Amino acid sequence: MIRFASLGSGSKGNALLVQSGATRILVDCGFGIRALSERLARLGAVVDQLDAVIVTHEHSDHCAGLLALQRRTRCPVYLSAGTRSVLAARHPFPGPLHIVCADTPVAIGDLSVTPYAVPHDAVEPLQYVISDGAVRLGVLTDAGSVTATISDALAHCEGLMLEFNHDRHMLASGPYPAFLKRRIGGPEGHLDNETAAGLLQQLKHDRLQHVLAAHLSEQNNTPEHVTGHLCATLDVAPEDVCVARQSQGFGWLTIGGRL
């Protein structure tokens, strides 16, 4: 059994807490140590309980709190060689680092973590599938387009955290400068609602228990837009939709039974 909860998701900071048995790992650490501690406390956890942080890429909304967390706890960090090269050039890491490679699983306590490559405007970005041996949680928070690699990696997962970043029309008519609109909407930017819903349509199956929508743009999307896409794709009522917010994240969801 795996349970997972978002500490917050969006351009101001991202972190996902995943637990199986006594193992607790964080996917990304985009919050400073005080905010991280406060957000963990909402979920009944503390920073000293973390067994590892797995990092998707070097953008600050995904790794801004890494150094402070390692200074306090020396929590191991898992990341790609490309991500490490960028982050280590900024500041030396005070704790252990482990290099991971796409398609090569690594064991962290009771969990197996398999990285997979995604198209995003970063140096060697990765996303992750996390398994306890019985069920699988697929995470996709930053990708500009859907590839066969993504579809294959996330197939048959019992839980999904999927990026629903922007509404195409809101982005096109919004206040962002043209270069930023091209970046966000480009093939190495972020998934729009329709593309994310299309991917979810491919991935849904009878054993899929939870889908958590994530990384919504506060300027170019709304929870109502995302809820509409999720309801139509999953054939569920609005009250059954799970959407992670920037300020409060989303509480515990369990796949594979009860913890």
3-state secondary structure of 17: strand
Using only C-alpha atoms, the chain has a radius of gyration, in whole angstroms, of: 17
For 64-102, write each residue's pLDDT tens digit. 999 999 999 999 999 999 999 999 998 899 999 999 999
DSSP state letters, 201-227: HHH--TT--EEEEE---TTT--HHHHH
Distance CA 27, CA 65 (A): 12
Which amino acid is it at 65? G
pLDDT of residue 259: 41
| pLDDT score at 226 | 98
Residues 6+ apart with CB under 8 A from 134: 1, 256
Quote the pLDDT of residue 234: 97
d(CA 198, CA 229): 9
Query: Quick one: pLDDT at residue 141?
Result: 96
Q: Which residues, in sequence order, are bridge partners of residue 137?
A: 130, 159
Beta pairing partners, 212? 161, 242
What are the helix and strand counts (H, E) for the chain?
9, 14
pLDDT along the chain (259 residues), means of 10: 98 97 97 97 97 98 96 97 95 94 98 98 98 98 98 98 98 96 97 98 97 97 98 96 97 83
What structural domains and CATH numbers belong to the chain? 2-249 (3.60.15.10)
User: From residue 73, how far is each of 33, 138, 208 by CA, in Å?
Assistant: 11, 27, 35
Sign of the Cα pseudo-torsion (205, 211, 216, 221, in order): positive
Burial class (CB in 10 A: 0-12, 13-18, 19+), 94: middle
Q: CB–CB of 215/226 below 8 Å?
A: no
The region that residue 249 occupies, defined by phi over 0 for left and psi between -120 and 50 for alpha, beta otherwise, is left
Residue-wise pLDDT for 108-145, tens only, equals 999 999 999 999 999 999 999 999 999 999 999 999 99
